[in-house]
Amino acid sequence: MRGRRKKSILLASFIVVCLFLSFLIFHNALETNQVEEGQVSAQPVLEGDQTKKTVAPENEAKPKRALPSPSPKKNFTIVIDPGHQHHANNDQEPVAPGSKETKGKVSSGTSGISTAKPEYELTLEAGLILEELLSERGFEVVLTRKENEVDISNKERAEMANEHQADLFIRLHADGSDDSTVKGFHILTPAEGHPMFNQSFEASKVIFSAVQRDQSIDTNGISFRSDITGFNWSKVPTLLIEMGFMTNQEDDQNLSDPNYLRKLMTDVAEGVVAYSK
């Protein structure tokens, strides 16, 4: 009898130990699963002052996410402004409503270090491509200009976007630098305090992410600006795309390649689709 009781006690102890070990294994597995599923990607890092600060690009090694498929947005109006024009207009206009500070109305822009292509020609080429791509996706699209021989100030371009009650005002430019090694796509957006700050920043982030996913394109983040006339007169969400640096030989040659330019504008168009949703 004692032998049986002893065996029963040993068996019961063994079962209790097994149950306890099983509980520990299950508990640890549950905690591990919660950590993996609940991870949140790091927020963008802001640098610099309030007038011009940069959002650090996300890690380009991060797995790509599929963009939403294009769908018609017939009630979504986009005004595209191909920056600059053939002849500069140095007459002055207020940098912002009610401001005593003035700037030249519009410049002719920079030019390619190796191609010698003027920026105003490049921006019009890009604008016409982007108009085509967005129209194909069902958007209502308006261009501030369709030729180079115009005289339209930066204030007047913003007022066009306001008159059309644009859901998004996209300004196309290419950058220049004294340092010929500087290159890459980047976006300027109105600084905090602008009435359209939140919407403009959101559009900038979504479009930048769409371009950044294309690993064949160098990207340099998003900068905030409070000194740009076209931003300050805009009453609608707006951003300024710097397609690359024309003072960098690689960027300059890429931007003059029709296939590269169409690929870049396709990435921008897909970003607009994602933002419009």
Residue ranges per structural domain of the chain? 1-39, 46-276
**Is residue 75 a contact partner of residue 224, using CB atoms and an 8 Å limit?**
no
Separation of alpha carbons 267 and 217, rounded Å: 10
Q: What is the pLDDT along the chain (277 residues), one digit of tens a residue?
A: 555 555 555 566 666 555 655 555 444 443 433 333 333 223 332 323 334 456 644 444 444 444 444 554 558 999 999 999 999 999 999 999 999 999 999 999 999 999 999 999 999 999 999 999 999 999 999 999 999 999 999 999 999 999 999 999 999 999 999 999 999 999 999 999 999 999 999 999 999 999 999 999 999 999 999 999 999 999 999 999 999 999 999 999 999 999 999 999 999 999 999 999 9
The CATH architecture assigned to 46-276 reads 3-Layer(aba) Sandwich (3.40)
Separation of alpha carbons 2 and 263, rounded Å: 85
Separation of alpha carbons 129 and 243, rounded Å: 13
Separation of alpha carbons 42 and 87, rounded Å: 45
pTM: 0.77
